[in-house]
Structure 1
Amino acid sequence: MNLINQDKIKETIKLLLLKEAPLLLKEIDFNHKDAFLEPLLFTFFNYKTEEKWSSELLTEFMQGYFLKNQNLQINSSHYLNNIAYLPYLGYFTEDNPELFEQIHIIENTSIEILKYPIYFHNNIFRNKQNQIINRKEIIVTNSLFQKNISYLTNAINLIKENSPKYFGLINQCCKKIVLFKTNPANTNSFATIKAHGIAFINVYQDDYDEVFFVDDIAHQAGHIILTTLFFDKKKIFKINEEHKVEEITNQKDHRTINTLLHALYTYYTTILCLDNCLKNKVFNNKQKKESIARIGFYLNKCNIDLERFEQINVFFKGIENVLNSDGIKFYLFIKENLLIFSENWLPTISTFNYSNQPYNFTFEHFNKLNH
C-alpha cells in the first residue's frame, strides 16, 4: 500500500506555514521526518480563526523541530494543571523553565503516548451533534496513562510481531495516541483529520487489557492511514464521497460513502490483527474468547456494510462509476479479505448471541449470553 500522499500532505502544510508565518519556515529543520506532519499543525490551521490563535502560538509549539537550539518561549501553551506540552521536547510547568517531564515513546516505534491534556485538544472532543464536550467530562491524566500503559505497550508489540506489514503503516502514519475516559454517550474512540496523526482511545471500561488495545489501535490507526491514502479523494472517488448512504439505500444510515469505506477498512484491519494474534496463540484463554467474540461482532457489522456498498454500486450502475481504478483495487482487496475472514470464522461465530451488546463491544455482556 503506497503512502505517497504523505508528501502531498507535507506540501500542503508548508504552504499554510508560508502564508501564516514565513519567518518560521526558516527555523524549521526540513529534514525532520515529522516536522510537517505534526498533528498540532492540523489542529492549529483548522481552528485558528475560531479560536483567534496567533502565529506566535504556532511558533511556540514548533520549537522542537527547529534547526538550532534556542531559549524556549512558553507563553500560551499552558493548560490544565499549568502544564505545557511542546512536541519532541516534553512537558513544562508555568513557574519553571526546566523540563517537567519527558515525552513517552513506545520503545522501538515512532509512536508517542500523550500523558496530559493538551491546550489544543479542547476543540477536538465533540459529541455526535459536533458540539464541544465540557472538558470536565473528558479525563486525560497521568494516572490514566499509568493504569493502561503496560496493556497499550504490549498491544502495540503484539501488532508489530504478528501483523508486521500493517504495523509498518501504523508506525508511519500514527504519530501519537491519546488515552482518555468519558461516557461513550459523549464520544467513542476516534481519529479526525483535525488532529491528523493522533488516535484518541476511550478507555472507559475498567477491564480493558491487550485485546481491547489491539482492537482499538488497529481500528483508529486504520482511520489515520486511510485519511492519508485518501488525501486526494479524486484519485479514489468518481462520485461525491460526501453523499449520504441513506439517500441511496433508503435505509437509516447517516454516514457518507467515504465514512462507509473507512468502516470497511477498519473492520479489515481490526480483524486482521486479532486473527493473527489468535493464529500465533499469544492470548490466554479469556483473551482468546474475547478476541473471537470481537471478530464475530465486527463480521456481523461488516457483512451489513458490504451489502450497503454493493447497493451503492448498483445504484450508480457499476463500481466503475463510483470509484476510480485505485479505489476499485482498494475496495476489492478489502472485500475479498473480509469475505475470507467471514468464511473462516462463520462456523465458530454463528452460534454467538450478541443481542445484549451496545454500540461498543462489551465482553462482560457477551459472557452473560455465551458461556
Structure 2
Amino acid sequence: MNLDFVNNPYSDIIQLLIYRENLNVLNNGDQFFAEPLVFAYFNNKKNNLFPKAVLKEILQSYFFKKEPLKIKYSFNQNGVAYIPKLGYFKEREITPFEPILMLEDFEVLKEIHPLLKKYFVEFYKGHIVNNSPAFKSVWKEHYDELKEAILTIKIYLPEFYDELKFANKKIYLHDNPKILNFTTIETLGMLYFYVVGKKNLVYFIEELIHQGSHNYLYYIIHNKRDFFKIDVENLVMRDFNNKDWDYRTIYGAFHGLFTVKQRVKCFDKLLSQNVFSGPYKHELLGRLADQFSRFRTGLELLDLNDVFTPKGVQFYEELDSNCYAILEKYKSLKNEFDLSNRDLDFRYKDFCELNPFETFQKKDEFNYYQF
C-alpha cells in the first residue's frame, strides 16, 4: 500500500490548529506541516505544560515578516535552545553556536527541545519503570555509521527510502539503552535511537526500517475507521486472544506486524543483492532469524471480521501473507541460530556469545547460507 507522496493527510489539521493560534506563519508546504515540534506542541497543550509562546518560538523561521529572535521557553536542561531551521542557541545569545545538521533527507538533532522531554522513559514489558531517566546526545560518535546506513538504504532499498523520507524528518541518538527505540504520533516524524558500543551499521539499518515504518504506518491508517471496526487504540490483545501475557493494544500489535513485514522484506532485498559479507552478513542473518518469533504473535487468533473493516482485513491479510512468504524462503534460519539470550532487543554482541562468527564464517565459505 503506497501513499501519494505529495499528500500529507495531517496538513489540514495542523493548518487549522495554527490558524486558531493566530500565528502569521509562512505556509511552506509539507515541510512546515510535518515539523515534529508542531505535533509535540499541540499534544502537550492538552496538559498545559507549555505556554503559547513556545509555538511562536519554534516557528520563527517560518514567519512572513522576520522579527528579532525571541527565545524564552525553548531552553532544555543543558541550557540549549533548538529552533528548527535556525540552529542551537545559548541563553542570552542571538547567534547559533551550532548549526542545523542535515544528513541526506534527514536532520540529525544535536539537542532535544523541552517539548520532547516527556517522551523519554525507561520501559520494560508494558510498564514504565523510570519516567525521568538520564541520557545524553551521542550524535558525534555515531554520525558516520548512521550516514552509511542511510546511504545503504538509499542505494539498495530505493522504494523503502521513499517511504522513509516521506514519513520521517529528524533523528536523535542518545546513550541510554533502557529508553527503548520508539516513535509516537505525538511527535510524528521523529526517530529516537539509543546507541551502545561501536559497529552499529546493521543496527541502524534495522531501526531505520523498524521505527521509520511506524511513522509511515501512521500516515497509511490515519483514518482508523477505514480499517478498524473497534477502538483498537484502547482495547488490549489479551481480551481477544486469551493470552494473559499479551499486554499490547490491538493497534500496537498491528503496528508490530507491519514493521516485521517491512524488516523481512528489506532484509531479503539486502541479502539477495549480496550487500554484506563477513560480520555484517552474520548480523543481518541473525536479525532476520529474530523476526520468526515476532511474526504471528496473536493477531491471527482474532476474529478478523469483528476487528477489521473489509479494507482492514485485506490489508492485514496482505501483510501476513507477504511476511509468511519471505520467512518461508529463509525457514532454515529458524533453527540455525540460538537466540535464547535475547531479551527485548536483538544485540549482536549477545548473539555472538551463542553463535560465534567463526562458526558462521566456516559455513559461509562453503556457500552454506544460500536461499
Question: Which TM-score applies when normalising by structure 2?
Answer: 0.89
Indicate conservation of the 8 Å contact 2:79/2:91, yes or no.
yes
- In the superposition, relative to structure 1, how do residues 342 and 254 fare at CA in structure 2: closer, same or farther (>3 Å)? same
Instruction: Tell me which amino acid in the other structure corresponds to 1:222.
Output: S
Q: Do residues 245 (structure 1) and 237 (structure 2) align?
A: yes
Residue 162 of structure 2 is matched in structure 1 by 168
Indicate conservation of the 8 Å contact 1:152/1:213, yes or no.
yes
Aligned counterparts of 1:207 and 1:127: Cα–Cα separation in 2: 22
Indicate conservation of the 8 Å contact 1:124/1:195, yes or no.
no
Indicate conservation of the 8 Å contact 2:107/2:171, yes or no.
yes
User: For 1:1-371, what aligned pairs fall within 5 Å after superposition?
Assistant: 1-3=1-3, 7-19=8-20, 21-22=21-22, 24=23, 27-107=24-104, 109=105, 111-128=106-123, 129-130=127-128, 133-135=131-133, 137-140=134-137, 144-184=138-178, 187-203=179-195, 205-241=196-232, 242-251=234-243, 252-302=245-295, 304-305=296-297, 308-313=298-303, 319-371=304-356
Indicate conservation of the 8 Å contact 1:222/1:269, yes or no.
yes
Question: Alignment RMSD, CA only?
Answer: 1.9
* C-alpha deviation, 1:207, in angstroms: 3.2
* C-alpha deviation, 1:208, in angstroms: 4.2
Aligned counterparts of 1:259 and 1:151: Cα–Cα separation in 2: 30
Instruction: Tell me which amino acid in the other structure corresponds to 1:37.
Output: A
Number of aligned positions between the proteins? 350
* C-alpha deviation, 1:285, in angstroms: 0.5
Aligned counterparts of 1:197 and 1:239: Cα–Cα separation in 2: 26
Aligned counterparts of 1:370 and 1:145: Cα–Cα separation in 2: 30
- In the superposition, relative to structure 1, how do residues 131 and 85 fare at CA in structure 2: closer, same or farther (>3 Å)? farther
Aligned counterparts of 2:49 and 2:352: Cα–Cα separation in 1: 50
Aligned counterparts of 2:340 and 2:11: Cα–Cα separation in 1: 46
Question: Which TM-score applies when normalising by structure 1?
Answer: 0.89
Instruction: Tell me which amino acid in the other structure corresponds to 1:276.
Output: K
- In the superposition, relative to structure 1, how do residues 284 and 64 fare at CA in structure 2: closer, same or farther (>3 Å)? farther
* C-alpha deviation, 1:4, in angstroms: 5.7
- In the superposition, relative to structure 1, how do residues 68 and 273 fare at CA in structure 2: closer, same or farther (>3 Å)? farther
Structure 2 regions of 5+ residues with no counterpart? 357-371
Q: Which has the higher helix share?
A: 1
Indicate conservation of the 8 Å contact 1:114/1:177, yes or no.
yes
Aligned counterparts of 2:177 and 2:31: Cα–Cα separation in 1: 33
Deviations 1:186-209 (A, max 9, x none): x31000112111011111x21342
Indicate conservation of the 8 Å contact 1:122/1:132, yes or no.
no
Aligned counterparts of 1:207 and 1:350: Cα–Cα separation in 2: 28
- In the superposition, relative to structure 1, how do residues 122 and 31 fare at CA in structure 2: closer, same or farther (>3 Å)? closer
* C-alpha deviation, 1:130, in angstroms: 4.8
* C-alpha deviation, 1:131, in angstroms: 7.3
Instruction: Tell me which amino acid in the other structure corresponds to 1:3.
Output: L
Indicate conservation of the 8 Å contact 2:236/2:250, yes or no.
yes
Residue 362 of structure 2 is matched in structure 1 by none
Aligned counterparts of 2:177 and 2:2: Cα–Cα separation in 1: 37
Aligned counterparts of 2:64 and 2:315: Cα–Cα separation in 1: 39
Instruction: Tell me which amino acid in the other structure corresponds to 2:90.
Output: T
Instruction: Tell me which amino acid in the other structure corresponds to 1:290.
Output: E
Instruction: Tell me which amino acid in the other structure corresponds to 2:316.
Output: Y
Deviations 1:256-307 (A, max 9, x none): 11111100111111222222222222223001000000000112221x42xx
Residue 316 of structure 1 is matched in structure 2 by none
Aligned counterparts of 2:254 and 2:78: Cα–Cα separation in 1: 40
- In the superposition, relative to structure 1, how do residues 229 and 102 fare at CA in structure 2: closer, same or farther (>3 Å)? same
Percent identity over the alignment is: 28
Aligned counterparts of 1:240 and 1:127: Cα–Cα separation in 2: 27
- In the superposition, relative to structure 1, how do residues 341 and 325 fare at CA in structure 2: closer, same or farther (>3 Å)? same
Deviations 1:107-146 (A, max 9, x none): 2x2x1110113221211112434576325x1222xxx111
Structure 1 regions of 5+ residues with no counterpart? 314-318
Aligned counterparts of 2:318 and 2:153: Cα–Cα separation in 1: 21
Aligned counterparts of 2:187 and 2:204: Cα–Cα separation in 1: 20
Instruction: Tell me which amino acid in the other structure corresponds to 2:42.
Output: F
Aligned counterparts of 1:339 and 1:16: Cα–Cα separation in 2: 42
